[in-house]
């Protein structure tokens, strides 16, 4: 990391020094103010990109694996609340900084009410609401009505598959937390800050589920530890959270990350939930850049041998998913307690005192901690981030080369008489015509290329999301249609709880199953598909660029020969091959992110109404059967038949909702992401190409007029140019030194 930081610092200084050359050139009397506007813009862009470059790290794992403790140990303090709630948790983003600050984003009233509406779909009982329009938690009557309705729910509605029912928890939390947070919510998203000695107050929100439910996002800035401000570490929800939307949120963050740290608890080892989540990560195509932390609980292991047996077993199991996994066995809590020491609670002090007796376990963890820390930053910055620095270096080299050429040309012009200067300028003008034609041709070719790759990827995307020809929607529809309800298991529930409650129970279980299927199976497939299209965009523009590169180099060689005839022998040297930025860098510069793949189902109240109408129909049918003395199979036969019709209606509405959602999602991916990414890649390549040609198309007519009319102090101009030449030579030496450093760490060209 120190190498990366020092190189980045040198590049930022070099960028500033090159920008200063433009100011020096502007001090020459009569020099047009906009002579270097394009290069100045490029330097400003490079500065912004390097300054705002964020390296994202996702810390993931199952619930209670020690993710928060691990992040706290990195920042050397208890900043993230350990053991926060499961159902209401959100991703907490943490960065190093100069201050201690918590930034909390709250949901808007529309977002709150929309979530409540979704949770109320098929809520049992038709008559609990006194208001018939859209639910609004701000109305006192609505809150009272909902609270009363929740109090009537039976145990079967509060628990689903042996865990708290997500919808009942959500509704209860919103009602319970309303009075506490109502002043912090508005029609827009509001943000609250908790700084310095008030920092710990943000724990009130993350530790209280009824308040955390109102949060949209959290970002912490921490002024301790060795984490740079451009590194963001995210504490993600447990991958085995009962809420499938949490898994979808984690996936959306994972596709933005540059490094994944997967935490496994030594108390449990690798569990089924870990295997399932790691398989999802592999399916997403992002398994390459991942580290594994076995978070050691000293209290769980009798000896170092006991711990090492577990570590060996975990490594062997991980190897079946990722060959040669990078694994570090660390006690995050011991590392944290050791730093806090005197600031520990009595309970934690006793635990630390007991652990300090485990000399072998401590030595093992300390060695692993050192090994992790020495490689962590290197892992973070090697690869795309060093390549991005290399790209910035080469662009600065191009600008400096062009600026050096500009200096030499003007030195020669000012050193000659008017006729000789005019001859140079006329020759350059003639060359400019050719250069302008090449630039125009490249622009037209790129414009055509944009349309060609758009047409190709449009066909791929439409085919992938097509209900008939693609597998994606077909698989979802098949899941919905084939979902089986064991109605015989609900007959007793029908007798005790009634039709509405039973339909609601079935609906909740179906919704949970579908959400899990979407998060575990569909979302990873969509992400994998989009990443394939990103790779295709990169390959396509790389192939287009190959032909441009030859053309540019040939034009530069010819230009150099021409300028040599005038004794200008230090013409722009042949530059390295122009390379397109990697896709992640292009996305970062353009501010592009894949639309979230969370399929929000808009279930309507009509489903339940029609199901109840069906119940009425079957009740009448039962009466006529009795009247006609036809056999009735069971006492609650009509309820079961109505239930089946109700479930069928729910499935049909779900199928329509899924198809509608993915048609909308398909268009978002196409127009708001893929097309914009294509345009951003094309613009990035065009800017890199035109940077090389800008020096050749500079209009020198103004200089000639100044010389002819003797409006410029040629001696003073020559002195300024000589100083600029010396500066540019020194900068060029620094560029070569940095280039050698980058090559020494393995960033040589193919």
Q: Which one has a higher pLDDT value, 423 or 622? A: 423
Shared-domain flag, residues 157 and 69: no
Q: In the predicted model, is pLDDT for residue 153 greater than 90?
A: no
**Is residue 292 scored above 70 in pLDDT?**
yes
Residue 663's CB is within 10 A of a number of other CB atoms, namely 14
Q: pLDDT confidence of 654, banded at 50, 70, 90? A: confident
Stretch 610-634: mean pLDDT: 60
186 and 298 belong to one structural domain? no
- Contact call for residues 372 and 328 (beta carbons, < 8 A): yes
156 band by pLDDT with thresholds 50, 70 and 90 = low
pLDDT, tens digit (0-9, with 9 covering 90-100), for 345-359: 888 888 899 999 999
Model pTM?
0.85
pLDDT at 87 over 50: no
Least confident of 54-63, 134-143, 303-312, 382-391: 382-391
For 4-14, the pLDDT digits (tens) are: 778 888 999 99
Domain annotation covers residue 373: yes
Helix residue spans in 27-58 (DSSP H): 37-52
Number of domains in the chain: 4
Residue recorded with tokens 């990109």: 49
Strand, helix or coil for residue 541: helix
Same domain (yes/no): 66, 138: no
Distances (CA, A) of 181 to 205, 218, 227, 680: 9, 16, 33, 41
Q: Which of 168, 201, 234 is the last residue of a domain?
A: 201
- What residue numbers bound the domain in which 576 lies? 436-709
Average pLDDT, the chain: 83
% of the chain surpassing 70 pLDDT = 84
pLDDT of residue 749: 40
Categorize the per-residue pLDDT at 74 as very low, low, confident or very high, splitting at 50, 70 and 90: very high
CATH of the domain at 27: 1.20.120
Q: Is residue 512 within 8 Å of residue 160, measured between CB atoms?
A: yes
Residues 61 and 190 in one domain: no
Q: 506 burial class (0-12, 13-18, 19+ CB within 10 angstroms)?
A: buried
The residue behind tokens 């020809």 is 469
> Do the beta carbons of residue 642 and residue 588 sit within 8 Å?
no
In angstroms, rounded to a whole number, what is the distance separating the alpha carbons of residues 593 and 669? 10
Query: Residue 632: pLDDT band by 50, 70, 90 thresholds?
Result: low
Q: Are residues 150 and 238 in the same domain?
A: no
**Mean pLDDT, residues 185-192 taken together:** 87
Alpha-helical regions (H) of 271-355: 272-284, 304-319, 332-340, 346-355
Alpha carbon distance 743, 32 (integer Å)? 39
Rank 142-156, 300-314, 423-437 by mean pLDDT and report only the highest: 300-314
Q: Is residue 441 domain-shared with residue 580, that is, in the same domain?
A: yes
In DSSP terms, 56 is beta-bridged to 232
Which pLDDT band, with edges at 50, 70 and 90, does 224 fall under?
confident
Q: Is the pLDDT of residue 601 over 50?
A: no
What does the CA dihedral 120, 126, 127, 131 come to, rounded to 10 degrees?
50
* Per-residue confidence (pLDDT) for residue 155, from 0 to 100: 66
CA distance 365 to 334: 9
pLDDT of residue 324 exceeding 90, the answer is yes
**At what angle are helices 605-627 and 637-667 packed, to 10 degrees?**
160
Residue 693 counted as domain residue: yes
| pLDDT above 70 (res 68) | yes
- 289 pLDDT band, cuts 50/70/90, is confident
Q: Are strands 191-195 and 163-164 parallel, antiparallel or unpaired?
A: unpaired
Say whether pLDDT at 599 is over 60. Answer: no
**So what's the pLDDT on residue 119?**
81
Nearest to 483 by CA among 518, 448, 440: 518
Under 8 Å CB-to-CB from 490, ≥6 apart: which residues? 502, 505, 506, 640, 643
Is the pLDDT at 747 greater than 60? The verdict is no
Q: What is the CATH number of the domain that holds 291?
A: 3.40.50.300
Provide the pairing of β-strand 101-106 with 215-222.
Answer: antiparallel
Q: Above 70 in pLDDT, residue 220? A: yes
Six token digits for residue 531: 């990443």
Residue 422 belongs to a domain? no
Place of tokens 């730093």: 339
Asked whether residue 363 is domain-assigned, the answer is: yes
Does any domain span residue 611? yes
**Integer CA distances (angstroms), 24 to 36, 407, 698, 714, 721, in order:** 11, 11, 17, 15, 8
What's the order of all strands across the beta sheet hosting 259-265?
191-195, 101-106, 215-222, 92-96, 231-235, 55-61, 259-265, 290-295, 327-330
**What DSSP string runs through 212-281?**
HTTEEEEEEEESSSS--TTEEEEEPPPTT-S-HHHHHHHHHHHTT-SEEEEEEETTT-S-HHHHHHHHHH
530/284 Cα distance (integer angstroms)? 10
Confidence of residue 294 (pLDDT cuts 50, 70, 90): very high
Are 689 and 581 members of one domain? yes
Q: What are phi and psi of 265, to 5 degrees?
A: -80, 135
pLDDT score of 276 more than 90: yes
**Residue at 218 is within a domain:** no
Long-range contacts made by residues 169-172, C-beta under 8 angstroms, separation at least 24? 169/87, 169/88, 169/209, 170/87, 170/115, 170/116, 170/119, 170/213, 171/116, 171/119, 171/120, 171/146, 172/210
Residue 427 belongs to some domain of the structure: no
**Which of the two residues, 599 and 667, has the higher pLDDT score?**
667
On the CB side of 460, CA atoms within 13 Å amount to: 19
* Three-state SS at 322: coil
Q: Is 303:253 a contact under the CB 8 Å cutoff?
A: no
Q: How confident is the model at residue 421 (pLDDT cuts 50, 70, 90)?
A: confident
Specify if 84 maps to a domain: yes
The residue-averaged pLDDT of 563-569 equals 71
Please check whether residues 544 and 681 belong to one and the same domain: yes
- Distance from C-alpha of 516 to C-alpha of 527, rounded to nearest angstrom: 16
- Is the confidence at residue 244, as pLDDT, over 90? no
Compute how many other C-beta atoms are within 10 angstroms of the C-beta atom of residue 690.
Answer: 15
What 68-72 contacts at long range (C-beta under 8 Å, 24+ apart), as own/partner pairs, is 68/235, 69/295, 69/332, 69/333, 69/336, 70/261, 70/263, 70/293, 70/295, 70/330, 70/332, 71/233, 71/235, 72/332, 72/336
- According to DSSP, residue 680 is labeled H
In this predicted structure, the answer to whether residue 615 has a pLDDT above a threshold of 50 is yes
My answer on whether 448 and 536 are in the same domain is yes
Identify the helix (H) or strand (E) that includes residue 704: helix 701-708
pLDDT one-digit tens code per residue, 377-404: 777 766 667 777 888 888 898 889 888 8
Kindly state whether residues 78 and 107 are assigned to the same domain. no
Count Cβ neighbours within 10 Å for each residue of 156-171 and write b for 16 or more, e otherwise: bbeebeeeebbbbbbb
In this structure, the answer to whether residues 356 and 390 fall within a common structural domain is no
Task: Name the burial class of residue 509, with classes exposed (0-12), middle (13-18) and buried (19+) by CB atoms within 10 angstroms of its CB.
Answer: middle
Do residue 49 and residue 61 come from a single domain? no
- Which token pair is 405? 């050429």
């Amino acid at each position: 990391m120190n190498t990366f930081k020092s190189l980045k610092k040198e590049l930022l200084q070099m960028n500033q020094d090159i920008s200063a050359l433009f100011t020096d050139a502007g001090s020459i009397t009569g020099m047009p103010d906009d002579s270097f506007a394009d290069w100045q813009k490029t330097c400003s862009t490079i500065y912004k990109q390097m300054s705002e470059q964020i390296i994202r790290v996702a810390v993931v794992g199952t619930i209670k694996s020690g993710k928060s403790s691990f992040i706290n140990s990195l920042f050397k303090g208890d900043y993230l609340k350990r053991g926060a709630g499961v159902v209401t948790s959100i991703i907490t983003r943490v960065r190093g900084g100069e201050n201690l600050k918590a930034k909390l984003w709250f949901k808007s009233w529309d977002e709150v009410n929309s979530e409540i509406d979704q949770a109320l779909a098929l809520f049992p009982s038709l008559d609990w609401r006194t208001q018939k329009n859209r639910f609004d938690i701000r109305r006192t009557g609505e809150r009272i009505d909902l609270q009363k309705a929740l109090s009537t729910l039976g145990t079967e509605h509060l628990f689903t598959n042996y865990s708290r029912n997500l919808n009942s928890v959500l509704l209860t939390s919103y009602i319970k937390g309303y009075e506490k947070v109502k002043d912090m919510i508005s029609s827009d998203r509001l943000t609250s800050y908790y700084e310095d000695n008030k920092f710990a107050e943000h724990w009130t929100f993350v530790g209280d589920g009824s308040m955390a439910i109102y949060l949209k996002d959290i970002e912490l800035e921490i002024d301790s530890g060795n984490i740079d401000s451009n590194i963001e570490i995210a504490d993600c929800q447990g991958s085995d959270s009962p809420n499938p939307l949490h898994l979808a949120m984690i996936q959306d963050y994972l596709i933005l990350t540059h490094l994944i740290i997967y935490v496994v608890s030594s108390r449990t080892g690798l569990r089924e939930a870990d295997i399932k989540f790691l398989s999802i990560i592999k399916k997403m195509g992002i398994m390459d850049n991942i580290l594994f932390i076995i978070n050691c609980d000293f209290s769980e292991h009798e000896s170092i041998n006991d711990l090492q047996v577990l570590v060996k077993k975990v490594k062997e199991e991980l190897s079946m998913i990722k060959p040669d996994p990078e694994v570090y066995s660390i006690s995050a809590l011991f590392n944290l307690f050791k730093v806090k020491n005197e600031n520990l609670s009595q309970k934690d002090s006793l635990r630390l005192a007991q652990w300090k007796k485990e000399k072998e376990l401590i030595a093992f963890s300390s060695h692993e901690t050192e090994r992790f820390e020495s490689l962590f930053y290197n892992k973070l910055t090697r690869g795309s981030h060093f390549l991005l620095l290399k790209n910035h270096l080469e662009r600065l080299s191009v600008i400096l080369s062009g600026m050096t050429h500009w200096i030499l040309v003007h030195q020669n012009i000012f050193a000659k008489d008017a006729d000789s200067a005019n001859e140079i300028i006329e020759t350059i003008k003639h060359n400019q015509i050719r250069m302008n034609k090449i630039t125009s041709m490249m622009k037209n070719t790129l414009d055509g290329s944009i349309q060609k790759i758009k047409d190709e990827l449009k066909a791929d995307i439409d085919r992938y999301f097509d209900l008939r020809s693609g597998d994606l929607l077909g698989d979802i529809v098949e899941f919905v249609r084939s979902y089986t309800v064991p109605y015989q298991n609900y007959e007793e529930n029908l007798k005790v709880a009634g039709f509405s409650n039973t339909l609601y129970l079935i609906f909740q279980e179906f919704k949970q199953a579908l959400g899990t299927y979407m998060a575990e199976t569909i979302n990873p497939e969509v992400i994998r598909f989009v990443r394939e299209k990103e790779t295709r965009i990169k390959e396509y523009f790389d192939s287009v660029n190959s032909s441009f590169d030859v053309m540019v180099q040939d034009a530069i060689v010819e230009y150099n020969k021409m300028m040599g005839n005038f004794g200008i022998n230090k013409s722009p040297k042949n530059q390295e091959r122009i390379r397109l930025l990697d896709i992640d860098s292009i996305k970062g510069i353009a501010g592009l992110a894949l639309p979230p793949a969370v399929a929000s189902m808009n279930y309507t109240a009509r489903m339940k109404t029609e199901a109840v109408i069906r119940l009425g129909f079957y009740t009448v049918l039962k009466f006529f059967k009795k009247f006609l003395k036809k056999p009735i199979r069971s006492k609650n036969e009509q309820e079961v038949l109505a239930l089946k019709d109700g479930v069928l209606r729910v499935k049909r509405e779900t199928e329509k909702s899924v198809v509608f959602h993915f048609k909308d999602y398909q268009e978002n991916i196409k127009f708001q992401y893929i097309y914009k990414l294509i345009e951003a890649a094309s613009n990035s390549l065009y800017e890199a190409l035109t940077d090389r040609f800008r020096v050749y198309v500079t209009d020198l007519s103004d200089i000639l007029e100044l010389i002819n009319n003797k409006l410029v102090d040629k001696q003073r101009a020559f002195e300024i140019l000589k100083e600029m030449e010396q500066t540019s030579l020194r900068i060029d030496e620094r560029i070569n030194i940095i280039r050698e450093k980058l090559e020494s760490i393995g960033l040589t060209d193919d």
